Structure formats: C-alpha cells, structure tokens
Amino acid sequence: MRLLAISDLHLAAAENRAALERLPAASPDWLILAGDIAEQPAHLAQAFAFLGQRFAKLIWVPGNHELWTVPGEEGALRGGAKYQAMVDVARRLGVVTPEDPFPLWPGPGGPLAIVPLFLLYDYSFRPADVALEQVLGWAWEHRLRSADEVRLSPTPHRSRQDWCAARLAESAARMERELPPGLPTVLVNHFPLRADLLTLRRIPRFSPWCGTTATEDWHRRFNARVCVHGHLHVPGTYWRDGVRFEEVSLGYPRQWQPFDRGPERALRQIWPPPMVAED
Ligand SMILES: [Fe+2]
Ligand SMILES: [Fe+2]
C-alpha cells in the first residue's frame, strides 16, 4: 500500500484525457491530486469517477485552474462559489478536500496526517525591490501575465491577496487545533510552500502567481515529512531542513509528450519513502 501523487493533469486537453485512461489499476494505493486537474466541473467529476475505481482513496486540492470562471451549464460561477462547486463535486464522489477532516495514513510508515491545503498566492514571491503595486507592470516587461488575472475571480474577497490571507489564517488555525502534537504530516498544496522551490528558468517573472512567503516555515511548523505541490510543470524532488518536497506535475501535452512522461510515469511515490538506490 503506497501513497502516490500527481498534479496538473489539465484535462481540458484531449491528449491528457486520453493518456489518463492508460493508468493501470493500483488499489489499495491512495492518490493525491494536487490541483489543476480540470476547469470544468464535469471534467473533474469524470477524473474522480475514473480514478476512484483505480485507487482506494483520493485526496484533492484545487489549483488555480479549478477556480477559473468558465461558462457552462451551471452558469459562470465565480471565485468562492466556483471553489464550493468543485468541493461539492469531490464530496459527491467521496474525494477528500481541504474542507474535510485530515485523513490518517494507515499504511506502512504511519500514522501520518495528510493535510490537503488551499492557500492560493499573494504576489509575495516577487523580488524584494518590486512594490506590490508595480508587480503586474514588472512581469509585463517580459510579456508575462497569468490568465488568472481575468479568469480567477476573488469574489467575495476584494482581491486574490485577501483570499490568500483568509485561507492562510483559517488553515493554520485548523492545523493548530486538529493535529495531535507530534504527529507527522504530509502537506499538500497546489502552489510550492517556499520561493526557493521555484523552477521558472525561462519565465522567472511568473513568480508572483506561484505562492506566498507566509508558508516558508510551514514544513517545520506543522511537522511535515513530505510537502507535495504542482503548478510549476517542472517535476522534481527537493530537500529543505531534512523535509522532502515533491513537485508532481504532469503538465500540458507539449511538456510531457516529447519526454514520454505520461501519467503512469508521472505518478510519484510519497509514502512510504521510496528506496533510494545507493552507489
Ligand atoms: Fe498547471
Ligand atoms: Fe496551476
């Protein structure tokens, strides 16, 4: 029994939907889905239904794409209402969300609490000498602007930063209250918890849309063994203070197809810790 993770399935792309169907049955393993699975509630439901037959438990956090406003049968849901609609899809299909009790890992190397987080970003991953009011102009000097600026509404919050601040406060308070002292955790968030995990070699000025400096020490503060994120579309494994950080993206077809790194190869083992070959 293993705890696996993947993110950024981006099922709006037909190639990614087709590739997902190749995933072999893996039950009794558990699967973490670390966001950017789909923009449409119907696509998210299809993914949950399909993967739910292949894994014993699914744990999901939203990415920025799940929060996008898309015209659809249910009307153009915005911001908090879109998040709630996606949480409802998950719950209908038995998938654990950031709004549910933290599941306890019952398998080898346990017990561990798995903590699905929805924290968003607040533009604080920009360089220290760029003021918040200048951040969009600074990114635009390199012709960069996240589609979130028009598609990810913060409603009913005044701004995405305000929404992020509310989620940070709420999530930290919940962990303080609900995690038993000393219990190790796996923290799952779509965005990397630390700015030094950014791997934006070609688009460094995309950093403002990638997380918040407020979570810099959460891996220590909340006793993490592993922190799982996606969003960067650059899979990798990193270590900070003895804690493993896993970027588990699949990404857009043009990003994984040339390397033949389809969903079956993109699945990452989170727990128990994978054996590292020694030479
Ligand atoms: Fe993504
Ligand atoms: Fe993302």
pLDDT score recorded for residue 72: 67
The CA 262 to ligand 1 mean position distance, Å, reads 15
In a domain, 29, yes or no: yes
In a domain, 279, yes or no: no
Provide the residue range defining the domain that includes 99: 3-271
- The per-residue pLDDT for range 200-230, each reduced to its tens digit, is 989 999 999 999 999 999 999 999 999 999 9
In a domain, 206, yes or no: yes
- The per-residue pLDDT for range 17-46, each reduced to its tens digit, is 999 998 887 789 999 999 999 999 999 999
In a domain, 175, yes or no: yes
The CA 279 to ligand 1 mean position distance, Å, reads 35
The CA 190 to ligand 1 mean position distance, Å, reads 9
In a domain, 60, yes or no: yes
Alpha carbon distance 229, 71 (integer Å): 28
The CA 63 to ligand 2 mean position distance, Å, reads 5
Give, in degrees to the nearest 5, the angle at Cα 214 between 101 and 139.
Answer: 120
- Determine what percent of the chain is predicted with pLDDT higher than 70: 97
How many domains does the chain contain in total?
A: 1
The CA 183 to ligand 2 mean position distance, Å, reads 29
- The per-residue pLDDT for range 134-187, each reduced to its tens digit, is 999 999 999 999 999 999 999 999 999 999 999 999 999 999 999 999 999 999
User: How much is the CA Rg of the chain, to the nearest whole Å?
Assistant: 18
In a domain, 19, yes or no: yes
The CA 232 to ligand 1 mean position distance, Å, reads 7
Domain harbouring 97, CATH code: 3.60.21.10
- The per-residue pLDDT for range 116-136, each reduced to its tens digit, is 999 999 999 999 999 999 999
In 62-169, at which residue ranges do the beta strands (DSSP E only) sit? Answer: 104-105, 112-116
The CA 103 to ligand 2 mean position distance, Å, reads 24
The CA 44 to ligand 1 mean position distance, Å, reads 14
In a domain, 276, yes or no: no
Q: State the pTM of this model.
A: 0.96
In a domain, 98, yes or no: yes
